[in-house]
A = this chain, B = another copy of it.
Amino acid sequence: MFGFLPREQVFFDLFEKSAQNVHRGALKLMEIVGRFRDLSVLAREMKDIEHEGDRITHEVIERLNRSFITPLDREDIHVLAGCLDDVLDFMDTAVNRMMLYKFAEPTEDAVALARCLERATTILQDAVPRLRKLHNKHEVEALLKCCVDVNTQENEGDRIQQHALATLFENGQDAIFVIKWKDVYQDLETATDRCEDVANAIESIVLKNA
């Protein structure tokens, strides 16, 4: 059966590509908060990653619309592809804003949120290939464990954002500075929310198919 590739496998291939690409985006974000003087160059590299994400998502949707039979529930495929893409979009939006708002340097809380996204997307990148093996109990358990771990990261993202807001307000910062960083924290925290949405979609797929 070597070389055999049922048409439905394409969805799993695309999900894997997408999860890897999202993780690549999180690594780029880490690079950005670590080498902030190169922001404008690195932001362009982030934008390329984001465009690749759009391309993959578009291919999923197009194939979904043209397929009569799908290996997973249509709605789950839709949510999984859309939310993976959203993670990348919000990271890219945060980076755009960092340029637009002409920050001199990233805050510690922004670095902490980037690190949280790196962890969450590592887990998702590890989880997605297991969707091919829902008949295997061991893989199903590993998948459900991944979902719990992503939720942990989302809670951590929440906690960091709260700390970030408290810090902004306690330090008696200038209102314009507060307005700008609040936006960026919100973008990054929303990216962790979308990681959780991906995990929820995976959990729903597991419960229906395992």
Q: Which residues of A contact B (CB under 8 A)?
A: 61-62, 65-66, 96, 100-102, 162, 165-166, 169, 174-176, 178-180, 182, 204, 207-208
Contacts and interface: CB of A to CB of B under 8 A. Distances in A.
**Identical copies in the complex:** 3
A166 B61 contact: no
A197 to B, nearest CB: 12
11 contacts: A61-B204, A65-B204, A100-B166, A101-B165, A101-B169, A102-B169, A169-B176, A174-B175, A175-B175, A176-B178, A178-B179
Q: What secondary structure prevails in chain A residues at the interface with B?
A: helix
B162 A96 contact: yes
A100 B160 CA distance: 12
Given A174-B175, A176-B178, A179-B182, 5 more contacts: A62-B207, A100-B162, A101-B169, A102-B169, A175-B179
B175 A66 contact: no
Contacts of A175: 174-176, 179
Contacts of A100: 162, 165-166, 169
Contacts of A180: 169
Contacts of A65: 204, 207-208
A53 to B, nearest CB: 16
A47 to B, nearest CB: 12
